[in-house]
Each structure stands twice: as C-alpha cells, then as structure tokens.
Structure 1
Amino acid sequence: MDYAFTHNAQQLTVRSLHRCANDLPVSLFSSESVKSLSLYRLKPAPTWDLPSLTTLYLDDVTFNGDEGIGHISKCANLKNLTLHRCYMSGAHIATVFDICLPELINLTLEEGMFFENGLNVFAPKLENLTVIDWETVHLQSISKLVSLVYKGFCSGLLQIFSFGLCYLEKVDICICNPCYKEEKIDDHNLVDLLRLIQNAKYITLNLDLIQLIFSFRELILHQPSPFANLKHLKVYPHYPFSSVQQTMPIEVKNYFLDSSPCATFTMVSYEEMKAVEHATSAQKYMVDLQMLLEQEKIKCETNKAHINWSNASMEENMNEQGETQIDEEKLVKHEMSRIRKYWKAISARIDQGEVSIGRIFFALAVIESPLKKLPAPTYDRIQERFSSLRAEAYNVIKLIMDGMKIKCDGKQGCSSVCLHELTTP
C-alpha cells in the first residue's frame, strides 16, 4: 500500500478478510492522486481528504455514524458511488444521514437490509440510479434522472421520490409481492407510481407490479394512457421466478400501449429469466475467484520471501555457533528445539496450503454449477472466460504446492544440518 501512494496510484482496491480498520494507514483516506477507491469489509477512517476521487465502491463496510458516511460528502468531485451491503454501528441506527454530492452522476445502493438509517441524498446532476433491497432512501433535487433500476417494495420506491421525472428514459422495476411484508397499497400509491414513470421510453416491469395494477383496474384502466413516449414495454415473471405459465392481462397491456401505437412489447419467459440469473451468478462467482487468486499470489510471494530470509538467517546462526564453543548438552537441547519448530512450521504451511487449494477448487465448482445450466450461446460466451480463469487457478495451485515443497525441502535441509552438527565430534 505504501508503494501505491509513493507512486501516486490513481486506482486502489483494498480488501480485508475480516472487518477491521485499525491496520489501515491514514494515507489511504488522504491522497491527491487516487481517483478510484474500492473498499471491502473495512471501516472507513474518521477523516477523509480525497480531492481527486471520482469513483467510490464500498462493499460490506461498517460506518461509525456521521463520522463515517458523512465524509463521503467531502469528496466534492465524486461522480460514481456504490454502497453494497453497508452497515451502521449500533449507537447510530435510528439516525438519518445526509449525503451531498453536487457532481454525482451514477448512484447504486444494494442490499441495505441492515442499514436501518434514513439516507437523504442531494445530487442535482444524478442521471443513473440503482436501488436494490434498500428502502430508507430519499432523493432531493433530482431532476435529470435518465435511468432507474429498482427492486423492493412499492412503498420504498415511493419514498425515494416526491415528484415526477420528466427526463426519465429507462425504467426497470421489480416490485416484491406485498404479502411478504404485509404491505398495504392503496389507489393513491399506485397512481403516484405510474405518474412517476409515465415519461419513460423503455419500461421493464415484473408481473407482481402488473397484477397490482390489474387489481385496481376499475380505477386506473379506464383513464387515458399517460405513456405517450413509450417505445418498448418488457414484462418478466413473478419474483422469485416461477415456472408456472404466466400471462399479461390484456387490459393492462393496452393501458401501457394505447398512447404509443409504435411501441413494442416483450413477455420474458421463465427460462429466459433463469438463464439471466445463472449467467449473473456465474459472472459474480468468477469475479470472486479472480480476487481469491490475486490474494493467493500475494501470499505465495510473501511466503517465498520469508523462506529465503529464514534460510539465510539459519546459515548465519550455524556459522556463529561454529565459531563459539557451547556446552554440548545445551547445544543438543537447542538444536532439538529448533528441529521441532521447523517441522511445526512445515505442518502449519501444509495445512494453510491445503485450505487455500480447497478454497480454489470449491470456487471453481461453484462457478460450474450455474454455468452448466446456461443455453448454448450464453454458455459459449462465458465458458471462454471461465476456461482462462480455470487455467490461471491451476497455475496458482501449482505455486502453492511449489511453496509447500520448497518449505519442506528447506526445512529438511536445515534439519539435516542440525543433526549433522549434533553427531559431529
């Protein structure tokens, strides 16, 4: 990390296997060169000074009240922000926090089930918004939004906006079945929702929302269609996806298309949605495997350097003992103690290597499971990348095994020297 800062790195990714921030240098959050920063399973530092930062990705990050999340607003040039599965420390759970980012263009909020705080976002230049399972959000001064992706409950979507979106072009809304949350939807909620997306050109909805509209057909469907700009309507199955044959009520279809006679309509099948789901899973798991391989490469290099240092130190100690007369009994005890430590270190390294190799094989198997379920064209496209990644995985496994062999050879050599010293008069 010090190397990155001394060489003015512009893109930096920091991942921890456990949630901790005590070992992070202050320089991580104080850099004039870093433009893209990704943090995984970490706690942000109490002070931020990142004037050049334009892209920030936080995954599984724990905030400590306004001292953490409030510092995002200090990144005045931030254009891309992603908060994925973020948490707030217990003492601040009931608080509402503000984020003010005047240059923000892309905002993604995902899996905020454990982020129970309200989040007010002021981003007047925001163009693309993705909100997935993150309900406690409210946007202010959002007038230029072009793309909206939302997955969650209807009430959560209505809380985000309190106004129409005249520049909205693309909408993808997946409304969870209200019975999952015992959510009560009235006619005013539904009218507000339709008014929110009425200017969009490309609309994608799930059947849960379509059936919700159909349940209020006496009130809504007799009104003129407000979707005069619509070019394409896509509808996909219930979420979670069901294999039961599903159809689009003709009344709702006409309600969307009547004011746009040139608009096209697509009903996505269950098989197509499952293929998308499997492809997304496979690609996500491949990203995870790539990061795992990078970590193992670093560990191999670190272990190799440690072995070289240990062997050099061992030879130096042997030479020093050869020049110094030591009591024979003490020498025997000393050398036997060192032999035990050597073989204990070997066992530990072998155990670590087995765990690492096991994790890689498991990651490969996890990828292959959804990959086998893909249709031919999609399978061929992803399989090419997976084959390359698998070859890299086997190379890393070979590095790990070579490291284990070097460790054993080195320790056996040192042990032989120790035994030789003990048995030589």
Structure 2
Amino acid sequence: MKYAVRTSSLSHKWEHVWTALPHLNFNCSAFRSKSIFSEFVNDTLSHRNNDIKLTGIELTFKGAATASSVIKKSVNYAYMHNVTKLSVKWVTKKYIQFPQELFSSHTLKHFTLATNVQSYLLCKTSCVPKLAWDFPVLETLILKNIRLGDEGDESLDLFSKCVNLKDLTLHQCCMKGLNILNIYASQLSDLTITQSLSLPNVFDVIAPQLKNVTASVKGTIDRFPVSFDTLRLATEGFDHLAEVNLSLLKPHYNRERFVPVLLDLFQTFRNAKTLIIDTAIIETLSLSPNRLSERSPFNELNSLRINMAPLNQKEYIASMLTQVISNYLLENSPDVTFIMDLPQDQLKRSRDRVDMETMANKVPKLKAEKDNKHLMPKGRCPHPEAMPT
C-alpha cells in the first residue's frame, strides 16, 4: 500500500489511483515507527474512494498498544464496507489479545489470523475470545500460532456459528489444558490440524460432509515429565472421507504408547479412500506387531501412500513394510494402489538398499517411476501364503 501511494505521486493521472484500490495491504515493516504506520493507515482509510468495492485487507502489525488500535480501526472499516477476505498477523514478543470486534462479520468469507508469539507465551491464556465467533458466511478459516482456550477449561465452542465453514486449518496452535475443543460445522469438507504445540484431550468433531483430513498425531511439546499430547477425536463418523494424511513427529522415548492412538485414528478414518502416512508411523506400528492382530478397519481404501522423507539409512524399511502393510493396512483392500514417495537425494539409495525380492514374499513388487515414486499397479494384492517361494 505504501508503494502504491508513492507511485501515485509520479503523475497527476495517477494521483488518486491509491484511493481506488480494491485490496489493501498494510505492513508495519515498511515504516520507521509504529506511529508513522498508524498515521498512514488512518490517512489511507479516511481518503479512500468508498465507491470502489473493497474486497480484502491484509494487516501485519508489530507491538501491542499501537497494533490494537490500528486493528480496531482497520477491521471496523473493513466490516463496514462488507469485505470478504481478511488476513491479520500480529508480530510481537509480548502476550497479546485480539479485540472482540475482530470476530463478528456477516460478509467475511476468508479469514486468516496469525501471530509469531513464542511457545511459552502461547501457553499462558487464550488470545482470542472464547465465545462462538459470529461469521455466518465464512468459508475458510486459518489460525496459525494461536492460543485457544485456557488451562482448565472444560470445553471450547468457537465455530458453531460459522455455519458455512468449509475449510478449517489449525497450524502450530496451543490448546494446553483444554479438555474438549468442539468443531461443529455441517459444511466442513477440509480439516487441517498440524504441528500443534499442545493438543486438547479431545477434539469433538461433528462434520458430516468432511472429505479431507491432514493431521499431526503428536503435539510438538511434551508435557514434561510424564504426560504427552496426542490427537484424539470423538465423532459420530465420517461417511464421505476421500483423503486422510497423518504424520507423527518421532517421539524421543516410549514410542509404543502411540500404537493404540494410531489404531484408534485408523478406526475413526476407516472410510477413507486414500491414506497417507509417514515412516515414523510405520516404525511405531512395527514395534507392537501383536497389536495388529485385529482385522483392518479399512474396507474402502483405494490408495496407500507412504511419505519416506524421514527415512534413515539404518532403518530396515523393507521388513517394516512387509509386516505392517501386508498383514494389516492392506488386508481388506485387495485393489489398492501403493505409493512410496521418495525425496530426490534418497531415491538411488532406496533402490540399492531395498531388497525387492524379499519384499515380494509379502507384498507386490514396487517399480521405480521417473517421477521419484514407487508404484504398485492396481490389481489384487496377493496373500503372502499364496505367493510362490
């Protein structure tokens, strides 16, 4: 926005161009001081041509007091002019709390809220209102580095008034000490919960239209010394799942404790058509083969993809795949397409290290494709005992 104003000063023909921009981007890093930035925002909003439809505003602030006042003015202006897209990022080293005015709009469709607050500050108290947010037409909500709820809260219901919400992302959020986070969204199709600093005891999810889930199974910060954070879902069922993508940040100790967590998640996501997991999940499951004796919950799986990025040279991935995939994950999915994604620098090493003939005793051969993927063509997955020795 600052450079748009500068450009307007180059010619009389452009003099009022900056007043007619449909999208405003205010970034405090382009100004020498917060007071100059605040003055610039006020001047821009007061001189803008209100006959031109305002579609979106991006706000990036530093500090606390100045940012709070600027946010209120900018947001009030945006909502008054029926903005549909809003992005707010608060850059500060101090504890912050977003103003109540930010969480009510009947025209907003896409909302991103982010901070860069360090984890020890996020774990204090909620930086957003704990009442249901009033966004009746909101479709996309992205929360990054946000503290949700306070320690000791029994439940938190933020999204029940977002009746048109279709895409929800919680990235690097902190929910330490919260018992239940309710996600009630009848139109929700995409849910992302990744790299959470701390997870609630339970996500209570009612989303009958949910199609795609991307989630980290473990929180990034263990509750020292004995407790830990894991992804737990309470749900009435997901009947329309298309793709589930799960990752597990490798635990430093007692990895076996995540096996029942993973099995519960597999049961929850049993209707998925595509399952994506990483090698940390494969490793963890292989530590407790006796827990995999129960029948696989996946009856509709069409594709299984394994992200090989965390692969270590010393790991025997072939034997782990043999046990976990053939005996459990693929048991009820004879026509599954199996894909292993390899990073470029590990492709040649993987070709050299994985003994394909050994793996063929349990699973179909994998062939290396030019796009750095190992594919198993569609076809019946032979039972290990039915294959020739």
Q: TM-score, normalised by structure 1?
A: 0.55
1:58 aligns with 2:99: no
The one-letter code matched in structure 1 to 2:99 is A
What does 1:23-422 align with in structure 2 at a 5 Å threshold? 23-26=70-73, 28-29=75-76, 30-41=79-90, 43-48=97-102, 49-60=104-115, 68-70=128-130, 73-87=133-147, 92-95=150-153, 96-99=155-158, 100=160, 101-113=162-174, 117=178, 119-134=181-196, 135-136=199-200, 138-153=203-218, 158-179=231-252, 185=257, 188-221=260-293, 223-237=294-308, 239=310, 242-244=312-314, 246-247=317-318, 248-254=320-326, 255-271=328-344
- Shift, 1:152, TM fit: 3.7
C-alpha distance in 2 between matches for 1:73 and 1:272: 46
Show the counterpart of 1:11: 56
Contact 2:258 2:284 in 1 (8 A): no
Distance 2:256 2:287 in 1: 13
Alpha-carbon offset, residue 188 of structure 1: 4.7
Q: SS in structure 1 opposite 2:80?
A: coil
- 1:72 Cα deviation from its structure 2 partner: 6.2
Structure that is richer in strand per residue = 2
Deviation for aligned residue 1:97: 2.9
SS at match of 1:21: helix
Stretches of structure 1 that go unaligned for 5 or more consecutive residues are: 275-376, 379-425
- Deviation per residue, 1:229-288 (Å, 9 max, x gap): 11111112374x5354533431211122232222111222244689xxxxxxxxxxxxxx
What fraction of aligned residue pairs are identical, expressed as a percent?
A: 18
CA distance in 1, matches of 2:126, 2:269: 33
Aligned residue for 2:272, secondary structure, equals coil
Q: Which has the higher helix share?
A: 1
Q: Deviations over 1:153-190 (max 9, x none)?
A: 1885542334442221101100123335x676276534
Matched positions, count: 272
1:66-87 deviation line (CA, Å, top 9, x unaligned): 7933466211111110000123
Q: 1:24 to 1:113 in 2, by over 3 A?
A: closer
Aligned-partner Cα distance in 1 for 2:175–2:331: 42
Higher mean Cα deviation, 62-71 or 190-199? Answer: 62-71
Letter aligned with residue 75 of structure 2: L
Provide the secondary structure at the position in 1 that maps to 2:209.
coil
Residue type at the aligned position of 1:212? T
Matched residue type, 1:44: F
RMSD: 3.6
Larger Rg: 1
CA contact (8 A) 2:127 2:148 kept: no
The alignment partner of 2:263 has SS state of helix
Name the SS of the counterpart of 1:73 in structure 2. Answer: coil
Can you list the C-alpha shifts for 1:192-215, whole angstroms capped at 9, x where unaligned?
A: 222112211111101221222223
| 2:24 paired residue number | none
